[in-house]
Amino acid sequence: MNNKTTNIALYFGSFNPLHFGHLAVAEYVVLNCEIDRFFMVLSPHNPFKDSEILINPQSRLINLKKEIKEFNKKLSAKVNQNRKCKKVEVSDIEFHLEEPLYTYNTLKEFEKKYPQAHFIIVVGADSIKSMHKWYKGEDILLNYKLIVYPREGYRVKTICKKYKAIYLENAPLQNISSTQIRNNQ
């Protein structure tokens, strides 16, 4: 018998920098998906990214907490009071784990911390296409629920169907990336 009672959405990222696209994804999921809690999980160092382009992890954490505090003020005006999830939270769990930091290992830590929870991973369409390359990526795809946010140029309905992922087909496209922002500075 499955006695897990809480649905926790986890949105992993370097947030280097955090931008309106990240916040739009968070808002859409909070307002439109059946979740109890939503965490933005800051990764101090993504094993797929060059550490030289990353802003100092502590600075990113401080900035993320500040931005999410402001974001939640605006979000509260939009959230129906009957919804279970009413805000976005920031997690620094990966700051306390050994490197290399892998999503699979982080998920196992979340399971220890919240044993009564189902974990739902929020990813962009670009990420689900490459998840099989992640450390234990196939295990993640097969054993965790995924919410997939659309991205322009990525057709992922077949992959989503294969892994029983929730594809947010009607979500508004956010045509921006942290890489674009860094390159324009």
pLDDT band for position 168 (cuts 50, 70, 90): very high
Phi then psi for residue 19, to 5 deg, are -145, 175
Residue 181 has pLDDT above 70, yes or no: no
Contact status, residue 15 vs residue 60, Cβ threshold 8 Å: yes
Among residues of the chain, what percentage have pLDDT more than 70?
88
- Written as six digits, the tokens of 137 are 């990526």
21-58: b or e for each residue (b if 16 or more CB lie within 10 Å)?
A: bbbbbbbbbbeebebebbbbbbbbebeeeeeeebeebe
pLDDT band for position 176 (cuts 50, 70, 90): low
182 vs 29, residue with greater confidence: 29
Identity at 155, one-letter amino acid code: R
- Written as six digits, the tokens of 126 are 């670009």
DSSP codes of every residue in 40-104? EEE-S--TTS-GGGS--HHHHHHHHHHHHHHHHHHHHTTS-TT-S--S-EEE-GGGGSPSSP-HH
Run of H or E residues at 166: strand 166-167
- The rounded distance, in Å, linking the Cα atoms of 18 and 90 is 12
Return the pLDDT at 178.
Answer: 41
Residue 57 has pLDDT above 80, yes or no: yes
- The rounded distance, in Å, linking the Cα atoms of 17 and 151 is 18
Over residues 89-140, the pLDDT tens digits come to 999 999 999 988 999 999 999 999 999 999 999 999 999 999 999 999 999 9
Phi then psi for residue 180, to 5 deg, are -60, -45
Show the domains of the chain with their CATH numbers.
6-183 (3.40.50.620)
